[in-house]
Amino acid sequence: MAEEVRSGRLDVVIFGASGFTGKHTVYEAVSVLEGLRWGIAGRNREKLEEVLDEMGIKAGQDLSQIPIIIADVSDDNSVLRMAMSARIVVNTVGPFRLYGEPVIRGCLAGGAHLVDVSGEPQYIESMQLKYHDFAKLCGTYVISACGCNSIPADMGVVFAEQHFDGTINSVETFFVHGLRGCKGNANAG
């Protein structure tokens, strides 16, 4: 796998591929990234191999040749190597306030554009303030909150289509955000 990465940058690397959001991203990548060179990254090779097996079966495709890159946010060099192996890194490792900044730094240093699914306003705003000028200087895009609010709604529509007896003509969704079990929170469930 490493030889394939050395022969040129992959178009896309999905970082955090063995997590909940990462697995779904890998599954969607099978069709969305068709024709592109893509790989997956994370801390544990065995778990990443399991994801490729599981999502390959689910998608009806052999994913055993998808490159695997070992990267860990606690190891800046591994994140840099990951970024240097990709044109675009899709970061699904959260919470981003704890794990997002090393990926931004690695992508800026390694010359990879970054897309993440963060929905954490404080993280997004602080990273924009801290890295905007440098990203602009590098010609690197750092895009947060991709799919943050649309993915839950889209998943709900897919669920409804799969479990509703008949044809669905329209769906109206509402997004309620809150913390469960917190005193004084009007949205607590």
List the CATH number of the domain containing 102: 3.40.50.720
% of the chain surpassing 70 pLDDT: 84
Looking at the fold, whether 126 and 156 belong to one and the same domain comes out as: no
Looking at the fold, whether 35 and 74 belong to one and the same domain comes out as: yes
Tell me the helices (H) and strands (E) count for the chain, helix number first. Answer: 8, 6
Angstrom distance (rounded) from CA 96 to CA 158: 27
Tell whether the model's pLDDT for residue 147 goes beyond 90: no
Tell whether the model's pLDDT for residue 186 goes beyond 60: no
Looking at the fold, whether 35 and 70 belong to one and the same domain comes out as: yes
% of the chain surpassing 90 pLDDT: 68
Domain extent for 48? 2-143
Kindly state the average pLDDT of the residues 38-60: 98
Angstrom distance (rounded) from CA 106 to CA 113: 10
Q: Which residues have a Cβ under 8 Å from the Cβ of 119 and sit 6 or more positions away?
A: 145, 148, 149
Looking at the fold, whether 72 and 138 belong to one and the same domain comes out as: yes
**Which amino acid is it at 13?**
V
Looking at the fold, whether 82 and 168 belong to one and the same domain comes out as: no
Are 146 and 117 spatial neighbours (Cβ–Cβ below 8 Å)? yes
The pLDDT tens digits of the residues spanning 75-110 come to 999 999 999 999 999 999 999 999 999 999 999 999
The pLDDT tens digits of the residues spanning 106-136 come to 999 999 999 998 888 899 999 999 999 999 9
175 band by pLDDT with thresholds 50, 70 and 90? low
Looking at the fold, whether 30 and 112 belong to one and the same domain comes out as: yes
Instruction: Give the model's pLDDT for residue 145.
Output: 86
Instruction: Give the model's pLDDT for residue 4.
Output: 44
Looking at the fold, whether 22 and 113 belong to one and the same domain comes out as: yes
Looking at the fold, whether 130 and 170 belong to one and the same domain comes out as: no
Are 58 and 27 spatial neighbours (Cβ–Cβ below 8 Å)? yes
Looking at the fold, whether 110 and 188 belong to one and the same domain comes out as: no
Instruction: Give the model's pLDDT for residue 59.
Output: 96
Looking at the fold, whether 34 and 125 belong to one and the same domain comes out as: yes
Average pLDDT taken over every residue of the chain: 87
Looking at the fold, whether 129 and 173 belong to one and the same domain comes out as: no
Looking at the fold, whether 92 and 57 belong to one and the same domain comes out as: yes
Task: Domain count for the chain, please give it.
Answer: 2
